[in-house]
């Protein structure tokens, strides 16, 4: 079982963000969110290549790539990319100083590697894009392209981090009032509600 939870203030087991979800509003953020409870007892939903294959094939992800082949030796690169993207997006969510040069350098390195694999082919009487690389590289290309689009658009200023103390998931706040607090009401939003309820009825400080 991939999904884990943690004990709430009541000592009851309360599930945390479950497995793969696509609440980020961007492929790159959903990729970064494949770690549950990032700020607490974290749970990596990408434990094996099979997890990555399953994630990529989900209807909200990249089903048009078909069943991607991810090898064990691809995993280190996938996890490294996920971490540097998290570090790249985090300053937007925290509204802290950004090391723009560093951000751009890492992304540009990936872009130059991955975009060089794209080529035009003439097939069946028409010209179309093709990708000449491994499935892991094609997956990385889609994620890095999305990250570059996000960072070079005004949307990056709307990146937020879930306010749950352990969740750590990132999302684009598209709420009308720009006051979305949780990755998902079903998970962290509900946990916060349960904590408030408990505090009100047991006289303990609200979390």
Residue 162 interacting with Zn ion (CB under 5 A): yes
List binders of Zn ion among 176-195 (CB under 5 A).
Answer: 183, 188
How many whole angstroms separate alpha carbon 45 and alpha carbon 65? Answer: 20
Q: What angle do CA 185, 188, 152 make, to 5 degrees?
A: 80
Asked if 168 and 39 count as a contact pair (C-beta separation under 8 A), the reply is yes
- The set of long-range contacts for 192-201, using a CB threshold of 8 Å and a minimum separation of 24, is 192/163, 192/164, 194/8, 194/10, 194/14, 195/8, 195/9, 198/8, 198/9, 198/10, 199/9
Shortest CB 92 distance to Zn ion, Å: 17
Shortest CB 207 distance to Zn ion, Å: 13
Shortest CB 34 distance to Zn ion, Å: 14
Shortest CB 182 distance to Zn ion, Å: 5
Residue 167 interacting with Zn ion (CB under 5 A): yes
Give the residue, chosen from 106, 164, 191, 195, that forms a contact with Zn ion under the rule CB under 5 A: 164
State which residue, 21 or 138, has the beta carbon closest to Zn ion.
Answer: 21
Residue 29 interacting with Zn ion (CB under 5 A): no
Which residues are at the interface with Zn ion (CB under 5 A)?
162, 164, 167, 169, 183, 188
């Amino acid at each position: 079982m991939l999904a884990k939870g943690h004990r709430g203030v009541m000592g009851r087991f309360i599930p945390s963000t479950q497995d793969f979800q696509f609440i980020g509003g961007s492929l790159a953020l959903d990729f970064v969110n494949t770690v549950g409870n990032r700020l607490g007892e974290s749970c990596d939903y990408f434990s094996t290549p099979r997890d990555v294959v399953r994630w990529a094939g989900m209807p909200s992800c990249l089903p048009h790539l078909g069943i991607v082949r991810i090898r064990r030796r691809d995993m280190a690169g996938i996890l490294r990319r996920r971490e540097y993207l998290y570090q790249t997006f985090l300053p937007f969510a925290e509204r802290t100083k950004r090391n723009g040069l560093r951000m751009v350098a890492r992304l540009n390195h990936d872009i130059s590697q991955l975009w060089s694999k794209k080529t035009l082919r003439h097939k069946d009487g028409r010209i179309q894009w093709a990708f000449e690389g491994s499935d892991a590289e094609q997956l990385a290309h889609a994620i890095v392209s999305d990250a570059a689009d996000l960072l070079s658009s005004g949307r990056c200023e709307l990146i937020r981090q879930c306010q749950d103390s352990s969740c750590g998931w990132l999302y684009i706040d598209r709420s009308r009032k720009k006051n979305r607090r949780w990755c998902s009401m079903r998970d962290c939003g509900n946990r916060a509600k349960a904590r408030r309820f408990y505090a009100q009825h047991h006289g303990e400080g609200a979390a």
